[in-house]
Structure 1
Amino acid sequence: MRKVLLPTIIFIATILLVIRLFYLQVIDDTLKLKSDNNAIKINYDYPERGYIYDRNGNLLVANQPSYDIMVIPKDVKEIDTSEFCTLLKITKEDFLKKIAKAKVYSPRLPSVFLSQLNKKEYAAFQEIERKFAGFYIQKRSLRDYQVPCGANVFGFITQVNDKIISKNKYYNSGDLIGRQGVEESYEEILRGIKGVKYIQKDKYNREIGSYKEGRFDTIAVQGKDINLTLDAELQKYGEELMINKRGGIVAIEPKTGEILALVTAPSYDPAILVGRQRSKNYTMLYHDSIAKPLYDRGLLAQYPPGSPFKILTGLVALQVKAIDENTSIICNHGFSFAPGRFMRCHCHGGVIQLHRGIYESCNTFFSTSYMRTLDKFSDPSVGVDVWSKHLKTFGLGEFMGYDLPTGRKGNIPTSKTYNKVYKGWRWSSKTIVSNAIGQGEVLMTPMQLANMMATVANRGFYFTPHIVRKIKGQIIDKKFTTKHKTTINRRYFETMISGLFDVYNFGTAHGLNVDGIDICGKTGTAENFTKVDGKRVQLKDHSIFVAFAPKDNPKIAIAILVENGGFGATIAGPIASLMIEKYIKHKITRKDLETRILAKDLQPEYNRFISKPIRDTLINTKVTIKEKAVVTIKDTSGIKKRTALKP
């Protein structure tokens, strides 16, 4: 057996090797194609990117033609550099830099020399292209935005860099790729597949026809169209309401998890990141360290959720039977939880039960409920872990899995958090009672707040929020149609919703109601601290509001956070009412609220702690993009050029 085995292995290996060599040399011409590369010119045919529509079929993002001048360095010979530079309005120094950069990429392969020419520039160059050996025109398509809103949702397209090219062989120098937003998340779907044509050249470098009669040529496949879950009118309206404010708005359809609006403020017109000025404008946005227009506050900003978190405090307390619907707690306009430590309360005081505790937002009731929750267990470490596990079934303290490329998971503390913070010290429910009212170590993003309200609206379940509703010829990921159930009994949600409904009738949002719509909501005011010259300074509170409507068969759940906005009912609450009415009625009857919010300018508040030299320059700055975007600042006192919002 052993005598036969070795010769058999050698025989089989030899046969396989011969077959492989025959295939490579006779059947497969790809290696020959590579070896003949010097005599073959490769032309790419770039497809149009897929169009982007909103949930109602309105076109949001289309395409427009663009033209790049490509260069193959080894083919550039004896051209009139002066004429070339004059035609394209560049300096000779720029010409030499671009040629040198192209040579670094590859002397033999094409790379972009000058990108995104308009039709007039293209026509002028095309007339005398023959005079400039080594240069040719590559047609591409750029985005054409049909709306001035949604920049943070769409993202933008830009040229690939060397790092991307080295990692993904699909891309070549000068190719475009989606960055941020939907353009990045759905890049492979939107970009399509570029076509390739191989052109044979003779020894004089003249084109003589298709290589191998076009056997290896491929045709371009256009990118697939997608429909977003976004309501374009609601998105536009939300951005208008947030002019001269900072913060985020997230609206979700509870029964599907579809994102109806995703607003970050300040924002910018997506059209400024298209064309020859794209790089300049992006640099300006990127270096705005004051207003941060590229920072998506709806997904990335982590805030103390404030009083809306009392909804969860109450639900968990009900679930572990630390309280029931009839539990009564006496509130003396605040909660004394340790010697010298007093938590003020703005409710009317007296005997408080859950229902009234919700609509009057009683700190005493929910602080007591939180402590009773943790004290139900033998050790506060066990209690806080039980509390944490219930909260995480709402999608808190973790990345939510939505189809956008950025986000943060917030923070829901556990026993590990406090065992580390209070190492060597004995801690109890009183030590961490500020968690009860959404302060302490609890952090949530506006997206998580909106999803929390969608879960409450659904009486205990949610669908992973997502921004794409339909892809042409394709089914969306099933994870977006999978129901996630919380660990809270459904009947407790009904109890909580009753209190949330009366927030508008008798409570902290009284006066924000909309005729004909039953809204359930919760105001919130979160403390806000920052460091100025190394010292911890308390700023004006953040204004927070969460809501859903209608009470029965809800169609929209929403969360609004306005930085430095003050009480929840002052700014965030009216915005919630207006957004809800806009979506459900498609019109606004609360013109009083609309006028007040559109006129509200928080820029003086934001500018309070900007250094004096920069603040002084804000007075006479020139708007270079649009009113709600950023403006250029040139500080004459020696501080580097930077940008900030128009005051």
Structure 2
Amino acid sequence: MRKLLLPIIIIVVTIVVLARLFFLQIVDDTYIKKSENNALKIVYEYPERGYVFDRNKKLLIANQPSYDIMVIPREVKDIDTLALCSLLDVTYEQFVSKLEKAKVYSPRLPSVFLPQLSKGEYAAFQEKIRHFNGFYIQKRSLRDYQVNHGANIFGYIRQVNEQNIKSNPYYRSGDLIGIQGIEQEYEETLRGTKGVKYIQRDRFNREIGSFKNGIYDTLAIKGDDVMLTIDSELQAYGELLMQNKRGGIVAIEPKTGEILALVNAPSYDPSLLVGRERSKNYTALYNDSLAKPLYNRVLSGEYSPGSPFKILTALIGLQEGVINEHTTFSCSRGFYYGKGAWMGCHDAGNWSLNTAIAKSCNTYFANAYKRVIEKYRNPADGINKWSEHLHSFGLGQFLGYDLPEGRKGHIPDADYYNRWYPNGGWKSTTTISNSIGQGEVIMTPMQLANVMAAVANRGYYYTPHIIKNIEHHKIDKKFTTKHVTSIDPKHFEPIVQGMNDVFNFGTGRSVRVESLDMCGKTGTVENFTRINGKRYQLTDHSVFVAFAPKDDPKIAIAVFIENGYWGARWAAPITSLMLQKYLLPEIVRTDLEKRMLEGSLQSEYDKVLQLYRTTSKPVSTPKVAL
């Protein structure tokens, strides 16, 4: 047996080697293709990106043809450089710079030499292309926006950079990729699949036909179309109302979590980031460091929520059993909570829960909050229970929506206060400002709107999302999963009635619409900034949250206006108009519409700019979100 072992091993190894050689030489042409790379020209066919529609099947984004001049550096030989520069309207220095950049990427692979030719430039170059070895035209498609709104939702596309190429082998120099918005979030769905053609060349570098009769060639596959949850008309109207103002609007369909409008102000026309002027326009938008049109305030802006937070204070108080709908507190235009400590209030009286919501009484909610914290044996347990309730509404965390940016806000707990007060000594009154949304609580406008959706649903919400349907795909299951809050549904009814009375006799009565049964809450948020280490108080932010109709809610909304004075001045009228736009055949309160369309807060923003100029060191305008 030992004598046979060595021959057997030799025979087996020989068979394996011969089988592998047969596979590589006869069956698998991969290495043949690689070995003949020098004699092959690889041409990519770029697909159209998927189209984008709104919830009513209105086309929002299509495509338009674009032509890039590509260069393969090592094939650039014996050309009239000056003639090429003249034809393409580039200087000789620009020609050398572009060619050197292409060589750095790869001498033998194509790079974009000049992107996005106009039709006239394309026709002129196509006629004389035979004179310029190493150059060819690559057809692509650019976005063709059918609307001039929604830029913060759509995002934009640009050429890939080195990091994109290194992190994803799909991309090559000159490829386009989605940045921000749905273009980034759904890049793999929208981009489609590139087609590839292998062209064989002879020893004189002349094309002689497809390699292996095209058996390796693939066709480009168009990207999948997507339908957004956005109502395009509501989105456009919201952006119109927000002209000359800064802030945001978020509108959600409560029963589904579908985002109906996501307005960021100031915004810009999405077509500015298409074509040869894209880079220049982007630079101008980016350098607007005070208005910050590229900054998504509705997702990334973190603000104190102000009085709308009182709704949550009341719900937690009801759930914890420290108040009921008949509980009353006496208010004398404020709340004393310690020696010399005073929280002012704009009204006086003996208020029940309903009236406290309608009139936005600080004293009532300070007492309710104090009772919640003091219900437990120590403040740490009380604040942690309070924090748990708030987290059940999606606060203090990323909501999981399908857009690639955002902040999670902040909901403090005992650990947070223990870090601030390492020797102890903090208690309910130390944190009393939380009760009215002016303490350490920080929220985004998106989170405010989601809270309204949960209240409208009497205790549950769905993860907000912007995709309604994707061609050939199902949407993520997380968008159809119900999230139930820690508040018993029965506690929402008195809150909803109080919010309804905000319009009947409370702080929102000036924007009431007889034909709409609305529920809402005003908010006035203190606004501070810090310059060179010194704290300055600016004009308050104006906030309003609402949903309608009261008993079968179709829309929940949050409006946040920076430097907008009090809630009823700017945010409430805009909220009322947005609800009218979505729910009624026509705008009823044309008086509000006229005032909002003609109104401007630019003078307030000019004051802020002047403050920076007079108090800052002589440097460029600071990049801060006001």
TM-score bracket, shorter-length normalisation? over 0.9
Indicate the residue corresponding to 1:282 in structure 2. Answer: 282
Compute the displacement of 1:113 (Å).
0.1
Query: Residue 593 of structure 2 aligns with which residue?
Result: 594
| Counterpart for residue 436 of structure 2 | 437
Q: Which residue identity is paired with 1:511?
A: S
Letter in 1 for 2:397: E
Contact 1:523 1:569 (8 Å CA) reproduced: yes
User: Paired residue for 1:397?
Assistant: 396
- On the 8 A contact 2:306/2:525 being kept in 1, the answer is yes
Task: Check conservation: 1:287, 1:642, Cα contact below 8 A.
Answer: no
Match of 2:511 in 1: 512
Rounded Cα–Cα distance in structure 2 between residues aligned with 1:286 and 1:116: 22
> 1:123 & 1:484 partners in 2: Cα distance?
57
- Give the structure 1 partner of residue 86 of structure 2: 86
Matched residues in 2 for 1:432 and 1:469: separation?
41
Are residues 108 and 532 of structure 1, via their aligned partners in 2, closer, same or farther at CA, if it must alter by over 3 Å? same
Amino acid at match of 1:290: L
Paired with 1:403 and 1:286, the residues of 2 have a C-alpha distance of 24
Cα distance in 1 for residues equivalent to 2:100 and 2:499: 66
Q: Tell me if structure 2 keeps the 8 A contact 1:543–1:563.
A: yes
Counterpart for residue 225 of structure 1: 225
**Conservation of the 8 A alpha-carbon contact between 1:532 and 1:609:** no
Shift of 1:523: 0.1
Aligned residue number for residue 629 of structure 1: none
Work out whether residues 527 and 542 of structure 1, in 8 Å CA contact, stay in contact via their aligned partners in 2. yes
Q: Report the Cα distance in structure 2 between the residues aligned to 1:84 and 1:71, rounded to whole angstroms.
A: 13
**SS class of match (1:598):** helix
Alignment of 1:497-536 (within 5 A): 497-536=496-535
Q: Any idea what SS the aligned residue of 2:435 has? A: helix
Q: Secondary structure at the match of 1:387?
A: helix
DSSP-derived class of the 1:261 partner? strand
Aligned match of 2:209? 209
- What displacement does 1:464 show? 0.4
What is the identity, as a one-letter code, of the residue corresponding to 1:178? G
SS in 2 for 1:368: helix
1:500-547 alpha-carbon deviations (Å, 9 max, x no partner): 000000100012111211000000011000013431000010000000
Contact 1:463–1:481 under 8 Å retained in 2: yes
2:454 paired residue number: 455
Aligned-partner residue type, residue 281 of structure 1: N
> In the TM superposition, what is the alpha-carbon distance from 1:405 to its structure 2 partner?
0.4
1:99-125 deviations in Å (ceiling 9; x for gaps): 000000000000000000011110010
After the TM superposition, list the runs of 4 or more consecutive aligned residues in structure 1 that deviate by more than 2 angstroms.
1-26, 611-615, 637-644
Aligned to 1:227, what secondary structure does the other structure show? strand
SS at match of 1:558: strand
2:188 aligned partner: 188
CA distance in 1, matches of 2:578, 2:60: 20
Cα offsets for 1:22-74 (capped at 9, x unmatched)? 43333221222122111100011111101000000111000000000000001
Aligned to 1:329: 329
What secondary structure is seen at the aligned counterpart in 2 of 1:43? strand
Residue 276 of structure 1: how far off its partner (Å): 0.3
Give the 3 Å change call, closer, same or farther, for CA 314–31 of structure 1 in structure 2. Answer: same
Which deviations, in whole Å up to 9, do the C-alpha atoms of 1:123-153 show, x marking residues without a partner? 0100000010100000000000010000000
Query: What aligned pairs does 1:573-588 form with structure 2 within 5 A after superposition?
Result: 573-588=572-587
Give the Å deviation of 1:420. 0.3
Change in CA separation of 1:505 and 1:36 when aligned onto 2, cut-off 3 Å: same
Q: Does 1:138 align with 2:138?
A: yes
Deviates most, 499-508 or 422-431 = 422-431
Summarize deviations over 1:433-486 as a string: whole Å, max 9, x none: 100000111000000000000000000000000001011121111110111100
Alignment of 1:263-302 (within 5 A): 263-302=263-302
Q: Is the contact between residue 612 and residue 621 of structure 2 (CA under 8 Å) also seen in structure 1?
A: no
1:13 positional shift: 8.3
Q: Which amino acid aligns with 1:221?
A: I
Q: Which moved more, 1:324-333 or 1:66-75?
A: 324-333
Equivalent residue, structure 2, for 1:621 = none
Q: Please show how residues 282-361 of structure 1 align to structure 2 within 5 Å.
A: 282-347=282-347, 349-361=348-360
Mapped to 2, the partners of 1:427 and 1:9 lie a distance apart of: 80
Q: Say yes or no: does 1:120 pair with 2:120.
A: yes
8 Å contact 1:288–1:642 — kept in the other structure?
A: no
- Kept in 2, the 8 Å contact 1:54–1:229? The answer is yes
Whichever residue aligns with residue 413 of structure 1, its letter is: P
Q: How many residues align?
A: 623
Q: Which amino acid aligns with 1:237?
A: Y
Structure 2 counterpart of 1:381: 380
- Rate the CA distance shift 1:222–1:180 in 2: closer, same or farther, 3 A: same
**Structure 2 Cα separation of the partners of residues 232 and 4 of structure 1:** 81
1:552 positional shift: 1.0
Find the aligned partners of 2:342 and 2:611 in 1 and give their Cα distance: 37
Q: Which one is further off, 495-504 or 593-602?
A: 593-602
Shift of 1:19: 4.7
- Do 2:531 and 2:612's aligned partners in 1 also have CA atoms closer than 8 Å? no
What is the SS of the residue equivalent to 2:428? coil
Q: Using a 3 Å threshold, how does the CA distance of structure 1 residues 426 and 73 change in structure 2: closer, same or farther?
A: same
1:259 aligns with 2:259: yes
| Structure-1 residue corresponding to 2:48 | 48
Provide the C-alpha distance between the structure 2 equivalents of 1:641 and 1:422, rounded to a whole number of angstroms.
Answer: 36
Distance 1:123 1:390, change over 3 A: same
2:413 aligned partner: 414
Q: Which amino acid aligns with 2:399?
A: M
| Alignment CA distance shift 1:329-1:341 (3 Å) | same
> Cα gap change, 1:12/1:443 in structure 2, threshold over 3 Å: closer, same or farther?
farther
Query: 2:31 maps to what in 1?
Result: 31
| Alignment partners' CA distance in 2, 1:559 and 1:2 | 85
Alignment-derived partner of residue 179 in structure 2? 179
Q: How does 1:51-62 map onto structure 2 within 5 Å?
A: 51-62=51-62
Distance 1:219 1:112 in 2: 22
Partner of 2:567: 568
Tell me the equivalent position of 2:475: 476
Q: Is the 8 A contact 2:258 2:464 kept in 1?
A: yes
The 2-side partners of 1:473 and 1:541 are apart by: 48
CA distance in 2, matches of 1:225, 1:365: 51
Q: Which amino acid aligns with 2:278?
A: R
Distance in 1 between residues matched to 2:480 and 2:379, nearest whole Å:
37
CA-based RMSD of the aligned residues comes to: 2.4
Output the CA distance in 1 between the equivalents of 2:232 and 2:107: 47
On the 8 A contact 2:580/2:587 being kept in 1, the answer is yes
2:170 pairs with 1:164: no
User: If the length of structure 2 is used for normalisation, what is the TM-score?
Assistant: 0.96
- Cα distance, 1:9 vs structure 2: 10
Residue identity (%): 61
1:641/1:96 CA distance change after superposition, 3 Å:
farther
What amino acid is the match of 1:261?
A
Cα distance in 2 between the residues matched to 1:21 and 1:174 = 38
Tell me, in whole angstroms, the C-alpha distance in 2 between the residues paired with 1:466 and 1:230. 10
**Offset at residue 15 of structure 1 (A):** 6.7
3-state SS in 1 of match to 2:427? coil
- How many angstroms does 1:604 deviate by? 1.2
1:618 alignment partner in structure 2: none
Q: What is the rounded CA distance, in whole Å, between the counterparts of 1:245 and 1:519 in structure 2? A: 25
Q: Which residue of 2 aligns with 1:152?
A: 152
The CA distance in 1 between the partners of 2:510 and 2:138, in whole Å, is 60
> Is the 2:252–2:464 Cα contact (8 Å) retained in structure 1?
yes
Aligned partner of 2:102 in structure 1 is 102
* Residue 239 of structure 1, CA deviation: 0.5
How many Å apart are 1:193 and its aligned residue? 0.4
- SS of the counterpart of 2:465? coil
Helix, strand or coil: the match of 2:509? Answer: coil
Rate the CA distance shift 1:509–1:127 in 2: closer, same or farther, 3 A: same
CA distance in 1, matches of 2:359, 2:393: 24
| AA matched with 1:121 | E
Contact 2:289 2:621 (8 Å CA) reproduced: no
* Matched residue type, 2:67: Y
Distance 1:478 1:367 in 2: 40
